[in-house]
Amino acid sequence: MRITRRKFIQVSGATAAGLAVSGLGFDLMPVKAHAQMLKTKYAKETTTICPYCAVGCGAIVHTSKKGDGRVINIEGDPGHVINRGALCSKGASLAQLTENENRLLEPMYRAPYAKEWKQVSWDWALTEIAKRAKKDRDATFIAKNAKGQVVNRTTAVVSGGSSALDNEECWIYQALMRALGLVYVEHQARI
């Protein structure tokens, strides 16, 4: 179970109340039992860079070591020399980007003219995608253009994206697209 901050206050509040009413009058002294344990105390800490704008702010990700292994907290990294712990509203909501019930968690397929998505397996999806890419690439492959110059390309299969990929992913992605002969290879920098 994830102990939320609110639950925690309830627990500690109850303790404080128990202490406070002991004795006569209203001595404030015993009230010390509020949340002294951080929710991040036993979490795995990793550093990351914010995936939104290109300032490149550092953040610390706290991941539960036990239980579901999910994110407990993400906050600005005070040791990062650019943002020194700061994050804007988007960066501050990174935990909710990750632990979000709206996320797509299974490959989905929509058949021609269908009104609904259908859940499919990764292997089926990638196999079918590869088949279609090959079929249409081969059918529309142009070895020479109208002038008779070698061009070895297709313009009927196209790609858009992505600056949402890591550098290493960008490289292998463009390599695969270009190996297939795509020239319509574009991404967000053109927006």
Q: Is 91 helix (H, G, I), strand (E, B) or coil?
A: helix
Token pair 């292998």 is found at 172
Per-residue binder mask for another protein (CB under 8 A), 150-179, x = binder:
xxxxxxxxxxxxxxxxxxxxxxxxxxxxxx
Give the interface size with another protein as a residue count (CB under 8 A).
151
Q: Does 65 bind another protein (CB under 8 A)?
A: no
Radius of gyration of the chain (CA): 27
Cis peptide before 162 (omega within 30 of 0): yes
Q: Does 149 bind another protein (CB under 8 A)?
A: yes
Write down the least CB distance from residue 60 to another protein, Å.
9
118: Cβ contacts below 8 Å, ≥ 6 apart = 108, 109, 110, 111
Per-residue binder mask for another protein (CB under 8 A), 4-43, x = binder:
xxx-xxx-xxx-xxx-xx---xxxxx-xx-xxxxxx----
Write down the least CB distance from residue 48 to another protein, Å.
4
Please pick, from the candidates 1, 66, 67, 81, the single residue that binds another protein as defined by CB under 8 A. Answer: 81
Write down the least CB distance from residue 38 to another protein, Å.
5
Nearest to 109 by CA among 100, 101, 122, 119: 119
CA of 135: how far to CAs of 61, 90, 108, 156, 157, in Å?
43, 42, 21, 11, 10
Instruction: Show contacts with another protein in window 84-123 (CB under 8 A).
Output: 84-100, 102-115, 117, 122
